[in-house]
Structure 1
Amino acid sequence: MKKKKGLIILIVCLVALVGVYFVATYISDKINYIEPATTVDKSVNIWNISTKVSAVRVINSYGDNTYYMDEEGKWKVEGNEVATLSQSMVQRMAIYGGNLTATEKVDDTCDNLAKYGLDKPQYTIILRQNDGTESVFYIGMQNQVTEDFYIYADGVDGIYTVGSTFPGYFNFDVEEFFLVEDILVTTDTSYLRELSMEYEDNSWHLVRMHYGSDYDVSGTRAWYLVDLFEHEVAVDTSKLEDIQNAYLELGIYSCITFSATDDELAKVGLRPGDCKGSIYYYFEEASVSEEITEKTVVGSQKIWLGNKTEDGAYYYVRPDGREGIYTMEATYIDQLRSNTAENLLQKYISVINISTVDSYSVEIGDIHFEAKVESIATDTGVEYYHYHNDKKLEKKFGSNLYTSLIGVYAEKALLKTEEPSGEELLKITFYRNTDIMPVYEVSFYAYSINYYKVAVNGEVSYLANSRDYKALVESISSSVENITYATEE
């Protein structure tokens, strides 16, 4: 009986202990429990005019620049309207400035601007709306604890803060908005009409002229050198391809400065009137024979060239009409510089553009042949007709004869010209409608077994291979002896 009573007492004590444990745990939880604090959003929207902003003026450490939206809805910068800007970068300023939202309000008044670095703000942003209304806000110093920046806005009471990244939307120099790849005016090589290169003591100037296919010695005789010589001289087409390929690769690599001083330009060889050289090109977006109208897209570009950068990888350049300093890759400029007027010469020395010729004559032995040239504009271009003794020559005959006359090939150029000597064996004369070299004479004289001397306007400058000379004489003689006239229409 005593054992049973002791067991009951033990069970009661155990139950009591368990009860005490649960009570103690409950009290402990109540003591340690902290109710979560409610998060308070302290952000304040100062204004929301982003959809109405038509201009953003930014005054920062880089200067004072105004970006505005033109009539076509594109952002431009005042003072450099020709520049193409990154639209998204300017639009971002308009959006974040136009929807000005502070993280919190830290002062109810604007009585102590100096305390927040707002007496001399780092940024002044002026937003102009479509109706001309202006909204202005200022960004001061950074809070070293929260890393937020202090701001205040005209017409709005109090000092506010914005996030640490907010000023970054306005922390740009104007040049950082430029899309440098769009600075140059370019076109496809098929539309090029002029291309010139000048650097220090080397220069050349190429012009593309209309040249009917019937009068094209090699099928590509359209480009001529017009500088350094007394008349236009056909270009070696293999060299022309290299030049055109280099032109296609021309492009601005970077912008060093938007507006350079004379001293800054002088340091890189770009001071006006004292540049190292230039590249120039002109284009008309039409076929060579197509008539140019007001609707035809035409354009030109001159690029002033300065020194190379220290590593030699780039040239300092300045597109004409701009005040800044830019860079271009040296590879393609060097490719253009590697050519000289002399090595661009085509060795077909009598290639005279048919459009510049009024008449021509051939004298060889007892043969004396003269012909006049008449040009007629057609829907497909210009047609040329030849007349001998006032009678129209058959068109194919005329073009073949003329092609043989301009096919004089000089295998060698003499380093020094000399007076012609000996008997003149063959003379081809072109009477032209140009002020420069209105008469162009090509004469042949005996020289050696392998060569004939070739004189241009009385100066012996070339040697023609005997084989080429004999083929030329045979072609001319055969044509003149078998004249074919056009049939009566």
Structure 2
Amino acid sequence: MKKKGKMAACLILLVLLLAVLAVMTKKNSTADTDSSSSDSSADSEKVVDISKDDVTALSFQINGETASFTKTTGDDDTDTWTYDQEDGFPLDESKVTSVLSSISSMAAERVIEGDEIDSMADFGLETPSEEVTVTAGGETTTIHVGDKNGSSKYYVYLNDDTSRVYMVSTPLGTMFPSDIMEWATSESMPSVTADHITKIQVEGENGYTLTKEVSAADSALQTDEWQVVDADGAAHGGDADSISTMTSAVASLSFGDLVTYNASDLAAYGLDQPKTTIRVHYTEEQEVEADDTTTADTSSDSTTDSASSDSTSSSSSSETTTVTVEKDLVLYVGNANEDGGSYYVMLDGSNEVHLMTASNIDAFTEKTVSDFWNMYVGMENVADLTSLDITYNGETKTYVRHVEEVKSDDDDSTTQEISYTCGDETIDKSTFTTFYSSLIGLKAQTKDTGLAQAQDAEFTAVFHMTDGDLTFAYSPYDSSFYYTVDDDGIPSLVNKNNVKTMLENYETLLAAKTEDDSSSDSASDSAE
């Protein structure tokens, strides 16, 4: 009896296992398996047997609303696609043709039919996520799109035929737009080369202007080319590295999504009275006809050409020449969008409103004029120096720079010989150069108009330059800094150790022996 009972139990268990196996096999063969394409003769069957060139109408759903498109043929036999729901919509026709290419080439990797279909809900087709309709040769076909399975395949059926379900790899869930503006043609940000920018002006709260003064460049002394102008019009020397970051930021500007191509209510985006306006002046090289060097391409509606220069280069193998064109870019910044991650922006002269990431805009609006100040105290070119008064430890000495033109005995050429004197003594040139370099090389760690002098000056330098006089007085501020005022009148704090090094170089100058006249060098010395 016990043996019969065990046998019966084993039979029952076997039946249960077979039942489970049958259920799993059927489930895998329907909804989740894409590896059984050989089970059907539809291994390479086209789902929709059409040619994309024959399609004359397309429609699908965007957020529950129908978006439809119609192709018309003009008198010149040119085909044109239009968006039916909005006259004048700037449709990017390549979006339509791309979708039609995917649909016309869509092949079934597997066909599920007959007893394999228990319920259309198993495939997400009871309530399709998308319905795409194409018309070709007078015949309309509707593609009902269901779920995407674990292998990224989609299930579809055609028209009203629920007896056949196709599994396809065509990315039906991502090939249609979530907003019709994604299918609109739109402008791009003008391409600006960072090194060609000569002016950046930010208007709004904490506004400032960065202006490139090309003629002021002096690579030997690393004199800044840029000036920083505050809202009151006061100019300050600009820091090359900080401003380089800004020119790179301009060159990196790009639009996000297109919001509207024909804005009629600018107030809806905060663009009727922009919170910030970014103005950029730059140059651009353009090729023009060799006999017309005074004109250049002005086709861009987002920038303005203000002038063009004479030819800068030409090619003997063509009849074109290169001109440098002055251009302006103006970007208006409105409100932040709903999630705060972007701003509404518009180019001057355009009707298009775009989104631009907050990080792009913040790079300009979160700066203040002091962020761009040159941190040197006074970078005075020795070539423009006539004399230098130094007051230290209660004693004032004057150092005079002499320039002598020396004619060569071999030819008519002349060279300059530079020397320095203090009273009746000729000063060792190398020692003076070392001191002078450490003096003009002092950089502030902090510049702040709110700083005030705490003690009397320990060291004062008065530069007598060819274009005027400049005075710098250094007084102890605390245990770490000396206080001074830079050549733009900005109170500054300089690291005490750097001032100490400068003072040590001056003490070396005081102790230096008189230079022998025969040791004078020419004007090629590094200080020059």
- TM-score calculated relative to the size of structure 2: 0.47
CA distance in structure 1 between the aligned counterparts of 2:74 and 2:262, rounded to whole angstroms: 35
Matched with 2:441 is: 407
**Equivalent pairs: percent with the same residue?**
19
1:427 aligns with 2:461: yes
Q: Give 1:222 deviation, angstroms.
A: 4.5
Asked if 1 retains the 8 angstrom alpha-carbon contact of 2:199 and 2:211, the reply is yes
Q: Aligned letter for 1:314?
A: S
Gaps of 5+ in 2: 1-55, 57-71, 99-132, 142-178, 286-307, 312-322, 404-415, 421-428
1:468 aligned counterpart, secondary structure: helix
Q: SS at 2:211's partner residue?
A: strand
Which of the residues 56, 59, 62 maps onto 2:86?
62
Q: Residue 501 of structure 2: SS of its match in structure 1?
A: helix
2:228 is aligned to 225
Q: Which secondary structure does the structure 2 equivalent of 1:190 belong to?
A: helix
Partner of 2:373: 345
Corresponding residue for residue 255 of structure 1 = 258
Residue 269 of structure 1 corresponds to which residue in structure 2?
Answer: 270
- Size of the aligned set, in residue pairs, is 319
Matches of 2:328 and 2:238 in 1, distance apart?
23
Alignment-derived partner of residue 127 in structure 2:
none
Give the Å deviation of 1:313.
1.7
State the 1:212 CA deviation. Answer: 2.9
The equivalent position to 1:463 in structure 2, one of 482, 493, 502, is 493
- On the 8 A contact 1:214/1:399 being kept in 2, the answer is no
* Alignment deviations for residues 339-377 of structure 1 (CA, whole Å, 9 cap, x no partner): 32223334323246x69x95565321333245699xxxx
CA distance in structure 1 between the partners assigned to 2:197 and 2:368 by the alignment: 19
Answer whether contact 1:233 1:351 (CA < 8 A) is retained.
no
- Where do residues 68-87 of structure 1 align in structure 2 (5 Å cutoff)? none
Q: Contact between 1:246 and 1:333, CA under 8 Å: does it hold in 2?
A: no
Among 452, 458, 463, the alignment partner of 2:482 is 452
The Cα offsets for residues 420-446 of structure 1, whole Å up to 9 and x where unpaired, read as 86356222447586xxxx765432234
- Which amino acid in the other structure matches residue 486 of structure 1? A
Which is greater in Rg? 1
The one-letter amino acid of 1:212's match is D
- The equivalences for 1:165-176 within 5 A come to none
Q: Would you say the 8 A contact 1:359–1:372 is kept in 2?
A: no
Structure 1 pair 208–59 and aligned structure 2 pair: CA distance change class (3 A): same
Equivalent AA in structure 2 for residue 50 of structure 1: D
Q: CA deviation at 1:253?
A: 1.4
In 1, Cα distance between the equivalents of 2:431 and 2:351?
A: 57
SS at match of 1:259: coil
Per the alignment, residue 203 of structure 1 pairs with 207
Q: 1:281 and 1:372 mapped to 2: Cα distance?
A: 44
> In 2 relative to 1, CA 448–330 (structure 1 residues): closer, same or farther, beyond 3 Å?
closer
Deviation digits for residues 155-192 of structure 1 (CA, Å, limit 9, x no counterpart): xxxxxx97779xxxxxx999955243x2x222232333
Measured on the aligned residues, the alpha-carbon RMSD in Å equals 5.2
Q: How far off its partner does 1:216 sit?
A: 1.4
The 8 Å contact of residues 420 and 459 in structure 1, kept in 2 or not, is answered as no
How big is each residue's C-alpha offset from its partner over 1:137-168, in whole Å with a ceiling of 9 and x where there is no partner? xxxxxxxxx9989xxxxxxxxxxx97779xxx
Q: Secondary structure at the match of 2:472?
A: strand
What pairs up with 1:123-272 in 2 under 5 angstroms?
177-180=184-187, 182=188, 184-199=189-204, 201-210=205-214, 211-216=217-222, 221-228=224-231, 230-235=234-239, 237=241, 239-240=242-243, 242-261=245-264, 264-271=265-272
Contiguous gaps of at least 5 residues in structure 1: 1-42, 66-76, 78-84, 93-145, 150-160, 166-171, 374-384, 390-394
Contact 1:386-1:398 at 8 Å conserved across structures: no
Residue 324 in structure 1 maps to residue 352 in structure 2: yes
Q: State the alpha-carbon separation in 2 of the partners of residues 254 and 320 from structure 1.
A: 18
User: Aligned pair in 2 of structure 1 residues 305, 363: CA closer, same or farther (>3 Å)?
Assistant: same
In the aligned structure 2, how far is the partner of 1:486 from the partner of 1:86?
A: 66
Q: Which residue of 2 aligns with 1:302?
A: 330
TM-score (norm: length of structure 1):
0.50
> Is the aligned partner of 1:367 residue 2:397?
yes
Given that residues 308 and 314 in structure 1 are in contact (C-alpha distance below 8 angstroms), is that contact kept between their aligned partners in structure 2? yes
Shift of 1:476: 6.0
